[in-house]
Structures are given as C-alpha cells and as structure tokens.
Amino acid sequence: MYGNRIVIADADQAFLKSLKASLTNDGYLVIGEACDAQSALEVIFRTEPDLIIMDANIPGCEGLQFVRIIEEHRVAPVLLLTAYSHRELVEEAKHSWIFGYLLKPVNQDNLFPAIEIAIANFKKIIKLERENKELKKLLEERKLVDKAKGLLMEKKGISEREAHKYLQKVSMDKSIPISKVAKKVIMLLQKNSP
C-alpha cells in the first residue's frame, strides 16, 4: 500500500512535478521521473518500481510499444494517463500491459484506487503465472514418470504398480527426483529398443 515505489513518465514538466507532489503527499515513493520513452525505460529497469505511471503519448515511442517492452520483462504494472479518450487507444490498452487508464487532469480521488488496484492485480497475475509454470513442470514430470512406467511394463513384463515402486526405489536409493530417474529409464530403454 503506502510506500510503494513509483516511476512517473510524462513530457509535461509541470504535470510531472504536480503528480510527484500528489503521490509523495499520499505516502508513495517516487523513485524515478522521465520525460521520454528511452529515459523512462532506463529508470524503470534500473529501479524496478512497483508501478509505472506514464502518459500515453510519451515522446520517443510509437503507440504503446513502450508498454510491450515492460510487459515482456514483467517489470511492473502500467497506469496509463491521457489527455483525451480515443477508442483506438482504449482498444490497444485492453490488449496490453495496462492496469489502469486515467484521463488528465488526474482527479486525486481516482488516482489512489487506480494505483492500489493496478498493483494488486499485477501481483495476482505474477502469482498465477508462477503457479501455472509450476503446474506445467509437474505435468511434464508426471508424463515422464508415466512414460517410464509404460516402458518398464512393456520391456520387463511387470505391473504398473511394480514399475512405479521400481522408479521410487531408485529415486530414494540415489537421492534424486523421480522425474530424473524416469528420464534415465526412458533413455536406456528406448536406446536398447530394436
């Protein structure tokens, strides 16, 4: 919540100064400011903020290309500011790493909830991506074990239960994960196949 680290990027110096004062008064830490896309990227990658607040038309960037770079690296959520609402921009924002969209001049009452919701949703997405990656890894490991059991059953003429017990025993005896045992079994039995 309060104390979140924020980078702000806008070509309008007066607006940047005003926004920084508002954020600081609300207890946020403005750890970087930039007036163009290149400077903003340098600050963002150097400081790794909790949130990026940027103008949609920041110089040095075509469309939301800037945001795609942030998304690719999963650095932080982006809260987009714009002086006007265009359907094309809203459509593009819907399909990018934008976690909030506010019209200028920024209403202070809307800024705080937009910041907090953007950061919370970003954390949820990162957590879900991590869980998804772990589940994919577990599924791949399970497939390896099942394939190794199938080969053992076929080549050795044993039951599925016996094949699984064999993999478990080797895993415990050698103190290595069962998925690694399964990989070795697959390699050996497929290599020895006619």
Q: Quick one: average pLDDT of 128-152?
A: 94
Q: Where are the alpha helices (DSSP H) in the chain?
A: 13-25, 37-47, 65-73, 87-94, 108-156, 160-174, 178-191
Instruction: Answer with the one of 106, 141, 167 that is the final residue of a domain.
Output: 106
What span, in angstroms and rounded, lies between the C-alpha atoms of 192 and 109?
70
3-state secondary structure of 9: strand
CB within 8 Å of 81: residues ≥ 6 apart? 10, 53, 54, 55, 56, 102, 103, 104, 106
Residue type, 24: T
| pLDDT bucket at 136, cuts 50 / 70 / 90 | very high
In a domain? residue 176: yes
Pair of tokens at residue 43: 């600050």
> How many separate domains does the chain show?
2
Other C-beta atoms closer than 10 Å to the C-beta of 178 total 18
Do 66 and 13 sit in the same domain of this protein? yes
Q: How many residues does the chain have?
A: 194
In a shared domain, residues 160 and 91: no
Give the pLDDT mean for 141-147: 94
**Tens-digit pLDDT profile for residues 157-175:** 999 999 999 999 999 999 9
Dump the DSSP string for 135-182: HHHHHHHHHHHHHHHHHHHHHH---HHHHHHHHHHHHHHHT--HHHHH
**Phi, psi torsion values for 164, nearest 5 degrees:** -65, -45
Residue 63's pLDDT is what? 67
The whole-number average pLDDT for the span 9-30 is 93
| Nearest-angstrom CA–CA distance, 80 and 68 | 13
Looking at residue 75, which CATH number applies to its domain? 3.40.50.2300
Q: Is residue 125 part of a domain?
A: no
- List the CATH number of the domain containing 163: 1.10.10.10
Last residue of a domain, one of 106, 121, 141: 106
Q: Classify residue 163: in a domain, yes or no.
A: yes
Q: What residue numbers bound the domain in which 21 lies?
A: 5-106
In a domain, residue 18? The reply is yes
Classify residue 113: in a domain, yes or no.
no
One domain, residues 70 and 153: no
- pLDDT average, residue stretch 136-165: 93
* Claim to verify: residue 27 and residue 93 sit in the same structural domain: yes
What pLDDT score does 171 carry?
92
Please check the confidence at residue 14 and state whether its pLDDT lies above 70: yes
Task: Identify the band that residue 193 occupies on the pLDDT scale cut at 50, 70 and 90.
Answer: low
